[in-house]
Amino acid sequence: MPENILIDRLGRIAKITINRPDKLNALNIKTRQELAEALDELRVDDEIRVVVITGAGEKAFVAGADINEFAGRTAVQQRTVMKARSIFTAAEDFPKPLIAMINGFCLGGGCELALSCDIRIAGERARFGQPEINLGIIPGGGGTQRLTRLIGEGKAMQIILTGEMIDAQEAWRLGLVNEVHPVDQLEEKTMELAAKIAEKSPIALSMAKTAVKNAARMNLREGLDSEIDLFALCFSSEDKEEGVRAFIEKRKADFKGR
């Protein structure tokens, strides 16, 4: 049984809760390992079509890497830790949609975890930042790359160079989060969105996720070529036949993930 995360299965949706509220859900080595293992488990669970990641308690999504683990660590030790399986890459490569439900502080590695998810939904009290610069370091979990790609260089630069926090409305204005909701509606609204996505073909969802992610990995020509291949691959699924037939028969499609 994991110690620092909880996994709830709610029909086709799984919710992973990072559960160290007394440390604002900071990511220590054990939590990272458990999170990676949870994603491995949910990756092959055919019942699960969408995964929501959130933080326990009312204060934090994730307040970053566990700073206590940095003390006294050498460069070589830190590199070894970071070159081990990355939760950020694991999230990005996860074949099902991942939604970050951001219920509070979303800082450093927490912001990088949210950036590695596909969609970010925030509560109105959430606060965002890459405060690494205040510790004399820089973001190392993809913050300089994913934040820049998401909101543009100038805005990412300001967040990373100042280390200052921004609130949920500002994060929405910048395009860092997709939606902001009152705290008491955050879970309901996030689950509504997850349920809507979970009705789609899991094969098409996976292809769509890969195709969109490729926009940041490939040049335009490669991305367009890859999109055609992924589009054509959907034609090998029963779900494509079901989707097309359901449209013609004017009924709701029942996608089986085959």
HSE value, Cβ hemisphere, 13 Å, CA-based, for 184: 0
Binding range to ligand COA, per CB under 6 A, among 48-56, 129-137, 233-241, 246-254: 129-137
Q: How far is the CB of 109 from ligand COA (least distance, A)?
A: 6
Distance CA 157, CA 161 (A): 6
CB 31, min distance to ligand COA, A: 11
* Residue 65 binds to ligand COA (criterion: CB under 6 A): yes
Is residue 199 among the annotated active site residues? no
Give the DSSP H or E segment for 202. Answer: helix 202-217
What span, in angstroms and rounded, lies between the C-alpha atoms of 35 and 17?
9
Q: Is 64 in the site for ligand COA (CB under 6 A)?
A: yes
CA distance 102 to 100: 6
Per the listing, tokens 């190392």 go with 140
Assigned token pair, 136: 């004399």
Of positions 24, 42, 151, 186, contacts ligand COA by CB under 6 A: 24
83: left (phi over 0), alpha (psi -120 to 50) or beta: alpha
Using the rule CB under 6 A, which residue among 16, 18, 26, 87 binds ligand COA?
Answer: 26
**Which residue among 61, 105, 128, 172 contacts ligand COA (CB under 6 A)?**
105
Check residue 66 for interaction with ligand COA (CB under 6 A): yes
Catalytic residues: 112, 132
Instruction: List residues binding ligand COA (CB under 6 A).
Output: 23-24, 26, 63-68, 105, 107-108, 131-132, 135
